[in-house]
């Protein structure tokens, strides 16, 4: 430590008076007169101060001789309590002054010097902001607050004004650097300094509005009104009241009002609508928000979400919807692809850089036609390319100056890769720089059927992990109460109900909105005079996949069956074909399956639409008005009809998508399986596995290949089937280890199966690669003796190849350096 540092005196007179000498706190200078003298001199370091003037300032009520005597006494006491004072103060008979070169720091001097330095840094706002912040940190309180003498008051106010101006400057600089949190912090400090300053209230309100925190802005105004009324008995100025009115208008935009869906108002969902409103306001603050609407089938989840979309459409926001179905549960990125095809999002695609657009082309191959110069994305399972794909998709949905609301209907059937991307989007949404400058809110709505998934469902774990890291919105929809049930029936049937009818309707429906609507509609179909509620029957739901009708109440099924029974033969056949597709269906797909002419198919679809069985989803794209109607239609198909229609659907999909079978291979496989065409199903499940693995969906690829193996085991045990089993097992090893790691307990079992089959019916190359998987499994489990034996066996196979040349390799890469691997095993053992 240098001599100057050893003798350094630090003086703090802003806030609590403190002295520190040579690093040690001095507690002996407790006299208010001594503290006042040191403070006075700290404020006048630039020139000698006459002793007479100092005495008058500190003892203004004393005579001149008494004041001078008091000064001499205080200086004597200061020499006793602070012996080193002579090193800093030059004291003679006429004046007192600070030694200019004395090793001393004074907070008030440093405060003013930092502010003066900041004034010279206007050309560099970042450095200027840091300099102002350093100055403000030095101002720990008013100048010597324990002193109330006249001489200090002007200095205290001068320094307080400098601090005020510094806070204003700091807030402005932070705002210019987009650091709204710091700007708001400085504005709050200004209010603590002067709680009656209207300009500061206006600044703080504006900053909160820029930070998407309208609630805080309103609270700031209310605080101002209360303060002005209590302290001054006045109202805020006209300018501040105008700012408040503008804030209320902006708040009205966020105060979402339910819009009509298909001409109907929401009934009995006021509480849920408020929760949905809160989710939208959260999206406005955090930029991206997920809100999940859960409940049983028919409870009104989709209707509530569509009301939100209808409101958003009125505000000219961008909206997009993706409906998922159980048969399509394994289609990778299906909801994202549906969203990307929304016309309003095409502008975002057109504005993207080619590096990101080429990634999106993985999901939208049509982009390669529209942009012929775009590089074709190479199939790969590398995680860094998966990250690029996720980044590209996030940029699409975060681009633009219009808010967006997206809907996934029936999230429980969503593929794992889409779920992973949603979590990625939420994780990085707080960093606006990640996807470019964009503060427009994005709200993602998702409906979920409670009865469709249990604790073992992938969605359960996804939700648990998401809740631990992100404040997602969750709205649980319950059945309507008796009053709302009656109101809904009146709205649908346009007929008033008496007390007995309303009670019976509630008893039969349990307040399920779908059951109420379907019941009223069925009664209107049977009797144009609007049959009484007591004569209506309730339908019940059914699992569309296996035809098990025990999952829905019989009354509900009866109502839906009643509506279906009044269809013409042509319309009913068309409904049967549509139900077999398992998801939204197109005119072209129906025509290829049914073989109907354009005219007949148009008539059939028109009848289904008029009777409320289907709804229009887009240009020549349709869907059932409710999934439960589709399930009842499918359940009523005979065991003869189902396999025939599934085969027709599979063949039609293969024809329509002949240029890109990978995108629909999973669908085709499911339909061939249900058609009983096991061989074809196995082939398409293998294609689906390759397509999924290329899109980083390794778990999906594993599931497809395991399904293919399960189907293969139902076929006779022939040499050809054994060879195909071997090929599937070898195909399975890569996605299995990518999905579950090299220590997955399934790997040794699968590798051993492949080895035995390769010995029995395979080629030497297949045996070599089966042994490779078995070697990896042994090494990862520390079974080095077994691994050594396997390497030696592979070494012998490689030696055979070298004897016949590299053409002996009928598939796969050339053998690795087995000698090196063998040496490593010896070392490990």
The owner of tokens 């079992």 is 749
pLDDT (tens digit per residue) in 234-267: 888 888 887 777 666 555 445 555 655 555 678 8
Tell me which H or E stretch contains 672: helix 665-674
pLDDT of 347 strictly over 50: yes
- pLDDT value for 803: 47
pLDDT higher for 546 or 821? 821
Minimum mean pLDDT range among 341-345, 349-353, 644-648: 349-353
Give φ, ψ of 651 to 5 degrees.
Answer: -65, -40
Provide, rounded to the nearest whole percent, the portion of the chain with pLDDT above 70. Answer: 86
pTM: 0.57
Calculate the alpha carbon distances from 444 to 346, 405, 428, 469 in Å: 19, 6, 15, 17
Q: 454: helix, coil or strand?
A: coil
pLDDT of residue 7: 59
3-state helix, strand, coil in the chain (%, to 5): 65, 10, 30
Q: Averaged over 454-469, what is the pLDDT?
A: 84
Could you give the count of Cα atoms lying within 13 Å of 211 in the half-sphere of its Cβ? 20
- Please check the confidence at residue 436 and state whether its pLDDT lies above 50: no
* Residue in 444, 345, 485 with CA at minimum distance from that of residue 402: 345
Would you state the pLDDT for residue 305? 94
pLDDT over 90 at 682, yes or no: yes
536 pLDDT tier (thresholds 50, 70, 90): very low
Q: With 60 as the cut, is the pLDDT of residue 47 above it?
A: yes
- Residue 559 has a CB neighbour count (10 Å cut-off) of 27
**Residue 115 has what pLDDT?**
92
Alpha helices per DSSP H over 494-586: 499-509, 513-526, 554-565, 569-581
Task: Tell me the pLDDT tens digit for each residue of 118-169.
Answer: 988 888 888 888 999 999 999 999 998 888 888 889 989 999 999 999 999 9
Mean pLDDT of the region 565-594: 91
Q: Per residue in 83-93, is it b (16+ CB within 10 Å) or e — as a string?
A: eebeebbeeee
pLDDT (0 to 100) of residue 690:
92
- Integer angstrom CA distances of residue 492 from 299, 487, 489, 501: 16, 9, 5, 15
Tell me whether residue 405 is exposed, middle or buried, using C-beta atoms within 10 angstroms of its C-beta: 0 to 12, 13 to 18, 19 or more. Answer: buried
pLDDT category, 4, cuts 50, 70, 90? very low
Distance CA 320, CA 336 (A): 10
The pLDDT assigned to 433 comes to 43
Of the chain, the percentage scoring pLDDT greater than 90 comes to 29
pLDDT at site 656: 92
Contact 445, 409 (CB under 8 A): no
Side-chain-facing half-sphere of 30: CA atoms under 13 Å:
2
Radius of gyration, alpha carbons of the chain: 39
Query: How do residues 379-426 score in pLDDT, each as one tens digit?
Result: 666 677 788 889 889 988 888 778 899 999 999 888 889 999 999 998
pLDDT, tens digit, for every residue of 483-495? 999 999 888 888 8
> What integer pLDDT is reported at residue 298 of this predicted model?
81
466-485 mean pLDDT: 90
pLDDT at 131: 93
Tell me what pLDDT residue 812 has: 44
Q: What is the mean pLDDT of residues 556-582?
A: 87
- Measured CA to CA, the distance from residue 242 to residue 200 in angstroms comes to 15
Whether 609 has a pLDDT exceeding 60, the answer reads: yes
pLDDT at position 535 is: 30
- What was the pLDDT predicted at 673? 93
Nearest to 143 by CA among 274, 335, 13: 13
Between residues 178 and 513, the one the model is more confident about: 513
Per the CB < 8 A criterion, the answer to whether 624 and 613 are in contact is: yes
> Given this model, what pLDDT does residue 806 score?
42
Cα distances from 654 to residues 141, 342, 541, 732, in angstroms, run 78, 25, 31, 24
The pLDDT mean for the chain works out to: 82
pLDDT above 50 (res 788): yes
What is the pLDDT, as a whole number, of residue 524?
A: 42
Residue 1 has pLDDT above 60, yes or no: no
**More confidently predicted of 452 and 568:** 568
pLDDT band at 807 (very low <50, low <70, confident <90, very high): very low
Q: Is 178 exposed, middle or buried (0-12, 13-18, 19+ CB in 10 A)?
A: exposed
Give the domains, in start order, of the chain with CATH numbers.
3-106 (1.10.10.10), 109-254 (1.25.40.10), 280-476 (3.40.50.300), 483-639 (1.10.10), 716-828 (1.25.40)
């Amino acid at each position: 430590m240098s001599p100057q540092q050893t003798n350094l005196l630090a003086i703090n007179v802003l806030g609590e008076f403190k002295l520190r000498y040579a690093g040690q706190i001095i507690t002996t200078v407790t006299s208010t007169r001594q503290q006042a003298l040191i403070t006075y001199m700290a404020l006048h370091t630039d020139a000698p101060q006459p002793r007479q003037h100092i005495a008058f300032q500190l003892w203004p009520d004393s005579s001149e001789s008494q004041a001078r005597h008091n000064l001499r006494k205080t200086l004597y006491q200061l020499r006793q309590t602070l012996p080193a004072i002579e090193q800093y103060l030059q004291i003679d008979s006429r004046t007192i002054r600070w030694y200019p070169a004395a090793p001393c720091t004074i907070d008030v001097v440093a405060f003013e010097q930092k502010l003066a330095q900041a004034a010279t840094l206007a050309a560099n706002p970042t450095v200027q902001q840091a300099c102002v912040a350093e100055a403000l940190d030095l101002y720990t309180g008013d100048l010597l607050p324990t002193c109330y003498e006249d001489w200090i008051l002007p200095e205290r106010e001068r320094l307080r004004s400098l601090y005020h101006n510094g806070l204003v400057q700091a807030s402005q600089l932070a705002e210019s650097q987009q650091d709204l949190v710091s700007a708001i912090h400085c504005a709050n400090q200004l209010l603590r300094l002067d709680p009656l300053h209207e300009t500061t209230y206006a600044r703080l309100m504006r900053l909160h509005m820029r930070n998407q925190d309208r609630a805080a802005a309103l609270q700031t105004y209310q605080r101002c009104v209360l303060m002005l009324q209590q302290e001054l008995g006045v109202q805020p100025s006209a300018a501040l009241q105008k700012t408040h009115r503008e804030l209320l208008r902006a708040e009205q935009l966020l105060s979402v009002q339910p819009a009509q869906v298909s001409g109907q108002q929401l009934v009995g969902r006021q509480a849920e609508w408020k929760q949905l409103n809160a989710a939208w306001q959260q999206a406005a603050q955090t930029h991206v928000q997920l809100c999940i609407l859960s409940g049983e089938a028919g409870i009104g989840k989709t209707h509530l979400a569509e009301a939100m979309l209808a409101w958003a459409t009125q505000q000219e926001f961008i909206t997009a919807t993706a409906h998922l179905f159980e048969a399509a549960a394994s289609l990778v990125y299906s909801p994202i692809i549906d969203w990307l095809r929304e016309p309003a999002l095409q502008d975002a695609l057109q504005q993207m850089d080619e590096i990101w657009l080429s990634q999106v082309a993985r999901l939208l191959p049509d982009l390669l036609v529209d942009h012929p110069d775009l590089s074709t994305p190479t199939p790969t399972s590398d995680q860094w390319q998966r990250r690029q794909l996720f980044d590209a998709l996030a940029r699409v949905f975060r681009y633009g100056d219009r808010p967006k609301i997206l809907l996934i209907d029936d999230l429980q059937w969503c593929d794992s890769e889409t779920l992973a991307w949603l979590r990625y989007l939420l994780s990085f949404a707080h960093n606006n720089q990640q996807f470019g400058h964009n503060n427009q809110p994005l709200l993602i709505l998702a409906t979920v059927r409670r009865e469709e998934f249990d604790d073992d469902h992938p969605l359960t774990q996804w939700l648990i992990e998401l809740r631990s890291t992100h404040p997602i919105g969750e709205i649980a929809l319950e059945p309507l109460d008796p009053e709302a049930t009656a109101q809904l029936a009146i709205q649908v049937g346009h007929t008033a109900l008496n007390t007995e009818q309303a009670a019976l309707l509630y008893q039969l429906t349990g307040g399920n909105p779908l059951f109420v609507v379907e019941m009223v509609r069925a009664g209107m179909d049977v009797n144009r005079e609007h049959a009484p509620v007591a004569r209506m029957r309730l339908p019940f739901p059914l699992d569309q996949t296996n035809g098990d009708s025990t999952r829905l109440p019989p009354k509900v099924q009866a109502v839906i069956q009643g509506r279906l029974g009044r269809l013409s033969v042509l319309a009913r056949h068309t409904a049967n074909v549509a139900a077999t597709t398992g998801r939204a269906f197109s005119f072209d797909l129906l025509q290829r399956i049914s073989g109907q002419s354009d005219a007949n198919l148009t008539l059939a679809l028109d009848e289904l639409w008029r009777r409320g069985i289907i709804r229009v989803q887009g240009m020549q794209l349709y869907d059932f008005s409710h999934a439960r109607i589709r399930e009842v239609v499918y359940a009523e198909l005979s065991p003869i009809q189902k396999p025939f229609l599934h085969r027709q659907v599979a063949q039609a999909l293969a024809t329509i998508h002949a240029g890109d079978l990978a995108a629909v291979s999973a669908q085709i496989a499911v339909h061939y399986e249900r058609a009983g065409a096991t061989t074809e199903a196995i082939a398409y499940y293998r294609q689906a596995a390759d397509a999924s693995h290329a899109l980083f969906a390794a778990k999906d690829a594993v599931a497809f290949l395991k399904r293919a193996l399960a189907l293969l085991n139902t076929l006779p045990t022939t040499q050809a089937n054994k060879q195909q089993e071997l090929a599937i097992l070898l195909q399975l090893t890569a996605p299995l280890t990518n999905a579950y790691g090299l220590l997955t307990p399934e790997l040794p079992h699968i590798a051993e199966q492949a080895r035995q089959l390769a010995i029995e019916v395979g080629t030497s190359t297949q045996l070599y690669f089966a042994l490779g998987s078995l070697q990896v499994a042994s090494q990862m489990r520390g079974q080095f003796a077994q691994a050594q034996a396997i390497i030696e066996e592979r070494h012998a196979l490689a030696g055979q190849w070298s004897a016949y040349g590299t053409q002996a390799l009928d598939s796969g890469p050339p053998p690795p350096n087995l000698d090196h691997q063998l040496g490593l095993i010896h070392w490990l053992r």
